[in-house]
Amino acid sequence: MRDVLCVPLDEKMELVFAADCSGGIGLKQHDVVRVPYDVVGYHGARVALMELMSIGAIPKAFIMQNFVSDDVWAALTSGIEQAMRELQLSLPIVGSSESNMLLMQSAVGFVVAGTVTIDRKKIGVTPRDACWAVVGEPLVGEDVMKRKNRMLPLSLFRELLQLDGVYEIVPIGSKGIYYEWKLVCGDRPIHCSLPLHASAGPATCVLISYDRKQESLLRSIAQTLFYPIVNKL
């Protein structure tokens, strides 16, 4: 199971949706984490785009639900466009802003729509003898800003997508590395030097499966962000 919705269009093509949301993060008085709204837009777009692109889908359009105010639309879209540039994308953005009710905290929703051909869909394609690793570190809240050099850069994510021998890429969410591992591989014990249950917030790291022959190349590309996973069985 992955955090995307795939809807068949015909025998060869599927329509794909990926979503993320942000709450209590922004510049309202009662927000838990105080950051500018371009930062909110960037990280929300990052998650939705990574979820969609990780299965081999091509993004086609971006949708945003802004519950903050009309005034922050431009800042939010500026952050979204930054994420797109880093992924070498240019997508139309549509959405709506809540302008009737004043909320006490910031809240934003992000949706990406795209398409994938069934023969290029990267779900359940990892062979049994594949190796596994985490690229990036799990970070959440203020740590995303304080330790952003430990977060998987979108440029590196894009490179992983294009690298031969990388079978699947699974963005890690708020439930942590082991939660995503269980969804893909089942409840098998593993070892990794990273905390397995820590939240990765805005997909600050990814779980990857890969051909063992590519490990030296992956280590050279990811450098200190590469964390191998050892299956204890």
Q: How far apart are CA 204 and CA 114, in angstroms?
A: 22
Please give the pLDDT value at position 150: 97
Can you list the domains of the chain with their CATH numbers? Answer: 4-120 (3.30.1330.10), 131-231 (3.30.70)
- Mention every residue, 6+ apart, whose C-beta is less than 8 A from residue 93: 61, 62, 63, 64, 77, 80, 81
**Residue 161 confidence (pLDDT):** 97
Q: What is the pLDDT at residue 232?
A: 62
CA distance 10 to 230: 40
Question: What is the model's pLDDT at position 54?
Answer: 97
Q: Do residues 44 and 9 make contact, with C-beta atoms less than 8 angstroms apart?
A: no
Ordered mean pLDDT values, 10 residues apiece, the chain (233 residues) = 86 97 96 96 97 98 97 98 97 96 96 97 94 97 92 97 96 94 89 96 96 96 96 66
Q: With a threshold of 0.85, does the pTM exceed it? A: yes
